[in-house]
C-alpha cells in the first residue's frame, strides 16, 4: 500500500493521476499547508523540505518501506516500479529531458506567476511581466515540440504528459485575463484536453475534494505558506 500525502495543488494532482492510471491501491492523506501541517515533525520526517506531494511505499526496493518526495521523482519511481508510462529504454533520454523541463521551468515559473499576480501584497509590474513572459516562452517551446505529435515523448502517453497536465489545470490562474489562456498554444491545449478527458484524470481531480482544506488567507496562512518571508520563524 502507498500512503499519498497531498493537497489540491498542481504537483500532488499529477501524482494522483499516476496512481489512478496505475490502479494502484493507495491511502490519500491530506496535508493542509494553509494550516502549516507540512511543518509538523512527522511530515518533515517524510519530506524534510516540507512540501507536498510525498509518498511512503511499504513495498519499496527489497520489500522495505521507501519514502519519496518531489512530484517528478515520485512519477519516475512509480513508472519504473510498474514499467508503465515511461516508454522504452531508448525513450529515456527524451523522457527525462521533458520531465525536467517541466519540473524546472513550467512548474516554478507557473508558481511564481501565480504568486506575484494573486498572493503578493504588492503587484510588482517587473515581477509579473518576468514570470508571465517566461511561462509563455516555456509554453511555446512545448507547443512547438508537440506540432505533429499526440504526446510529448515517442507518441505515447507518459509521465511527462501527466506532469504538464498537472500545471495546465491552473493555466487560468497562471495567465489570467483571458477566457482561454491556452488559445495561443493550440498543440498544448490539445494535449491538455486529451489527458483531461481520461477517466483517471476525473478521478484524480476528485481526490480530496470533500476535505475541508482551509481557504481563507490570514496572517497565520501567510506564515505557514511563506515562512521564508518571516526571518523570525526557524525552519
pLDDT along the chain (235 residues), means of 10: 97 98 96 97 97 97 97 98 97 98 98 96 96 98 98 97 98 95 98 98 97 95 91 58
Record the pTM.
0.96
CA 229 to chain centre: 23
Tell me how far apart the alpha carbons of residues 63 and 34 are, in angstroms, rounded to a whole number: 35
pLDDT in tens, 125-180: 999 999 999 999 999 999 999 999 999 999 999 999 999 999 999 999 999 998 89
Task: Please indicate, yes or no, whether residues 99 and 145 belong to a single structural domain of this protein.
Answer: yes
| Confidence (pLDDT) at 105 | 98
Structural domain range at position 63: 2-84+203-229
| Confidence (pLDDT) at 233 | 54
The residue among 125, 115, 119 whose CA lies nearest residue 174 is 115
Instruction: Flag whether 235 is in a domain.
Output: no
| Confidence (pLDDT) at 232 | 62
Tell me how far apart the alpha carbons of residues 108 and 89 are, in angstroms, rounded to a whole number: 28
Q: What is the CATH number of the domain that holds 184?
A: 1.20.1050.10
Query: What grid cell was written down for 143?
Result: 507547443
Per the structure, the count of domains in the chain is 2
Beta strands in the chain (DSSP E): 2-6, 26-30, 54-57, 66-69
User: Cell 495543488, residue?
Assistant: 9
Q: Say if residues 85 and 44 touch (Cβ distance below 8 Å).
A: no
Radius of gyration of the chain (CA): 18
Task: Please indicate, yes or no, whether residues 162 and 101 belong to a single structural domain of this protein.
Answer: yes
Q: Bridge partners of 56?
A: 3, 67
Task: Please indicate, yes or no, whether residues 185 and 210 belong to a single structural domain of this protein.
Answer: no
Report DSSP state, residue 102. I
Amino acid at each position: 500500500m502507498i500512503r499519498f500525502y497531498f493537497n489540491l495543488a498542481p504537483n500532488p494532482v499529477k501524482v494522483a493521476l499516476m496512481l489512478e492510471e496505475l490502479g494502484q491501491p493507495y491511502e490519500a492523506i491530506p496535508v493542509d499547508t494553509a494550516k502549516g501541517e507540512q511543518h509538523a515533525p512527522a511530515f518533515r520526517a517524510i519530506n524534510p523540505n516540507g512540501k507536498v506531494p510525498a509518498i511512503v511505499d511499504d513495498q519499496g526496493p527489497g520489500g522495505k518501506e521507501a519514502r519519496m518526495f518531489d512530484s517528478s521523482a515520485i512519477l519516475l519511481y512509480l513508472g519504473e516500479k510498474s514499467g508503465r508510462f515511461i516508454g522504452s529504454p531508448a525513450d529515456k533520454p527524451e523522457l527525462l529531458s521533458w520531465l525536467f523541463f517541466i519540473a524546472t521551468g513550467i512548474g516554478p515559473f507557473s508558481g511564481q506567476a501565480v504568486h506575484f499576480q494573486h498572493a503578493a501584497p504588492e503587484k510588482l509590474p517587473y515581477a509579473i511581466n518576468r514570470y508571465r513572459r517566461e511561462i509563455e516562452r516555456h509554453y511555446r517551446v512545448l507547443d512547438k515540440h508537440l506540432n505533429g505529435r499526440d504526446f510529448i515523448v515517442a507518441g505515447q502517453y507518459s509521465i511527462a504528459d501527466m506532469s504538464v497536465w498537472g500545471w495546465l489545470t491552473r493555466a487560468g490562474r497562471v495567465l489570467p485575463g483571458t477566457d482561454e489562456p491556452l488559445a495561443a498554444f493550440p498543440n498544448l491545449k490539445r494535449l491538455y484536453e486529451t489527458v483531461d478527458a481520461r477517466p483517471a484524470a476525473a478521478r484524480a481531480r476528485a481526490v480530496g475534494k470533500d476535505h475541508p482544506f482551509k481557504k481563507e488567507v490570514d496572517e497565520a496562512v501567510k506564515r505557514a505558506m511563506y515562512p521564508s518571508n518571516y526571518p523570525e520563524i526557524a525552519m
